[in-house]
Chain A
Amino acid sequence: MINAALLFWLMLKASLLSSGGLGNLASLHQDLLARGWANDHTFAEALAIGQLSPGPTGLWVIALGYLIFGLAGSTLAMVAVLIPPLLVIPIGLVHHRYAPLAPVQGFVRGLALAVTGSVPVVVLKLAGSYGIDVVSLAIVIGSAALIATRRVPVIAVLILGGALGAAFYR
């Protein structure tokens, strides 16, 4: 049984200590799996739906909220990811034209570095939870290569992946 207040708190905590759209992934993955409220597939599918839908990458948690707790879950997720960026209003009032202090810059960079260390690990674990086979490897490597060229729109790569999946995984 999912406790709405606790779910909201876990989402807010993960987003407060994050940087960028996927910064809350590792923390939420750990917390929700520990409580049995989601599994690897739920996370993988929420990320896929988030990527497929327009909007900033960070809106993937809205898909996660929906998959585990319906419309209420997606609304809680929206509010949880909205609160941390709102902090820019008070900071903007104080910091009109000065650069942040060096330790603050360092802390923020440390968070961002930690996110880039954790996201690939979690993402590969989620993809691997479906089992590793030739088709999966080909899609992961192929789409990474296509997106790295910057010549193919991300959405086209995703649709291609979905089409290949529909053709090969049945």
Chain B
Amino acid sequence: MTNSLNCYHDRVSELRQTRGCGRGAGAHRAEWAAVNQEPSPRLLFLLWARVGLQSFGGGPAVQIYAYAELVQKRDWLTPQGWAEVLGLCQVVPGINLIALAILTGGRLAGRRGMLVSLVGFLLPSFLITVAVAALYARLHSMALVAGAIRGLVMAAAGGNLIMSWRILAPLLETSAKEGRWVLLASILVVGAVALLVMGGRLPIYLVLVGSGALMAVVVGVALRGSPQVRA
């Protein structure tokens, strides 16, 4: 943790040294003002609350927004530091963005940074989600509300289909880079899981573990002896 914090300070002093060369003074001053703000727990809380409250539809769009805030606008993390953090977040199960808030918060402001980023990211959204669910639970017998939720269900279904595709496409791209057998196995896993879920006989967790195990073997074999490949 302290090591990463040092990296951050190195980055800032590097910027201080290169300050004032090349660009327009006004634009540079604005940029410098953003850089010069230390990543305090308060700022981290506000930043992650904003990321949370603006993330509708989820997934890649939110990651891009968080990247713009942390790397491009404020320079709190280097692009390499970001890639490293993101790589780790993709290894843990569940909601990647929660892991992202935890890791970036920790790197920028220690344990307190971790906690405030997490709470800032989740608490406002949690409260609003509960409030919307509670409101719906009270009003669901009204014909207008029942009609609206049914329309919303259909729209959300359409959105989720596109989101699934947006998650699938880069996975297949990565697999394709590792060879045609890896790509073939990946396509096979997607198709087989779809059929198994349609059938509904096997416990889903076994289907998931099986898919993971199969790809662990296939990717393990395909990448044998190529240690330079990164996540």
Describe A's contact surface by its main secondary structure.
Answer: helix
Q: Does A76 contact B (CB under 8 A)?
A: no
User: Which chain A residues border B110 with CB–CB below 8 Å?
Assistant: none
- CA gap between A118 and B146 in the complex, in Å: 27
Minimum CB distance partner of A66 in chain B: B133
Shortest C-beta distance, B87 to chain A (Å), equals: 6
Given A53-B125, A113-B190, A107 and B58 touching (CB < 8 A)? no
- CA gap between A46 and B88 in the complex, in Å: 29
- CA gap between A143 and B191 in the complex, in Å: 24
A166 touches B94 (CB 8 A): no
A118 touches B193 (CB 8 A): yes
Shortest C-beta distance, A165 to chain B (Å), equals: 2
- CA gap between A115 and B155 in the complex, in Å: 20
- CA gap between A142 and B48 in the complex, in Å: 32
Shortest C-beta distance, B75 to chain A (Å), equals: 20
Q: Does A5 contact B (CB under 8 A)?
A: no
User: Which chain B residues border A110 with CB–CB below 8 Å?
Assistant: 189, 211-216
B124 touches A27 (CB 8 A): no
* Interface 1/0 per residue, B55-74 and A, CB below 8 Å: 11111011000000000000
- Contacting residues of chain A (6-55) with chain B, CB-CB under 8 angstroms: 13-24, 26-27, 30, 44-55
User: Which chain B residues border A103 with CB–CB below 8 Å?
Assistant: 216-217, 219-220
Which residues of B are interface residues toward A (Cβ below 8 A)?
3, 52-59, 61-62, 84, 87-99, 102-103, 106, 114, 121-122, 124-126, 128-130, 132-134, 136-137, 140, 143-165, 167-168, 171, 174-175, 186, 189-194, 197-198, 200, 203-205, 207-209, 211-220, 222-224, 229-231
Q: Could you list some 15 contacts between A and B, CB below 8 A?
A: A16-B94, A21-B59, A23-B93, A47-B153, A96-B3, A100-B87, A106-B218, A108-B91, A114-B189, A114-B193, A114-B212, A116-B165, A139-B151, A142-B158, A144-B159
Top 6 closest pairs, chain A to chain B, by CB: A165-B151, A161-B155, A55-B125, A106-B219, A110-B215, A57-B58
